Amino acid sequence: MKLRLEEISKGQEEVIVRYRQMNATIQAICDLVQKPDKKLLVSSDGAQQYMLIDDLLYFESIDGKTFAYTEDSVYQVHHSLKDLVQAYQDRGFFRAAKSLVLNLYRIAHFKSQSFGRIEATLDNGEKVLISRKYAAKLRQLLREGVADED
């Protein structure tokens, strides 16, 4: 794919994407331009960077700190789980335990477990057990598209 950048001195900045057929890469570029707020500032080893929300598998709270997990990396996030769920529930983030928020779009498959629990296998093969309490909300979310607030 050819990249052409053109510097302008006045007028509105714009991005023109010329494509023959819509594919994942073109869609990702569109998402990046249209939804600039769907990136999250994360830090790792003192360095800070922006991550695309959709690249995150889950958030976890450990000893009062919040961490974001991609398929192969872990970053620290300076937000509470409550804030993250509120901000990104429209991107499929769902509270799956008191200390865990899952990205539903990065779940490969579910397995129904005993006592009403659900085992979720993430895109990186990690398995997470969702308790009956949160499983009920998950079922509601999958069925109706929304879940009751706590």
Partner 1 sequence: MKTKWEEVLSQEIAIKYKAGIYSLCHLLYFALYLLSQQKNQIGLLQLAEIVLLAWLVNHLQVYLGDNFDEADQISGKWWFSAIICSILYLLAATLLNWFEGDKLATLGFGFFQLFCYIGVYINNKIKRQIDSRQLNQQLQDFKKRRGNHHD
Residues in contact with partner 1 by the rule CB under 8 A = 27, 31, 92, 104-105, 107, 109-115, 118, 133, 139, 141-143, 145, 150
CB of 13 to partner 1, least distance (A): 23
Output 39 or 44, the one with its CB closest to partner 1: 39
SS3 sequence of the chain: CCCCCCCCCCCCCCCCCCCCCCCHHHHHHHHHHHCCCCEEEEEECCEEEEEEHHHCCEEEEECCEEEEECCCCEEEECCCHHHHHHHHHHHCEEEEECCEEEEHHHEEEEEECHHHCEEEEECCCCEEEECHHHHHHHHHHHHHCCCCCC
For the CB of residue 145, give the shortest distance to partner 1 in the complex, in Å: 7
Q: Least CB distance from residue 113 to partner 1, whole Å?
A: 7
> Which residue number, 9 or 34, has a Cβ lying nearer to partner 1?
34
User: Which is nearer to partner 1, 38 or 44 (by Cβ)?
Assistant: 38
Nearer Cβ to partner 1 (6/37): 37
Give the residue from 91, 57, 90 showing the smallest Cα distance to 74. 57
Q: How far is the CB of 43 from partner 1 (least distance, A)?
A: 28
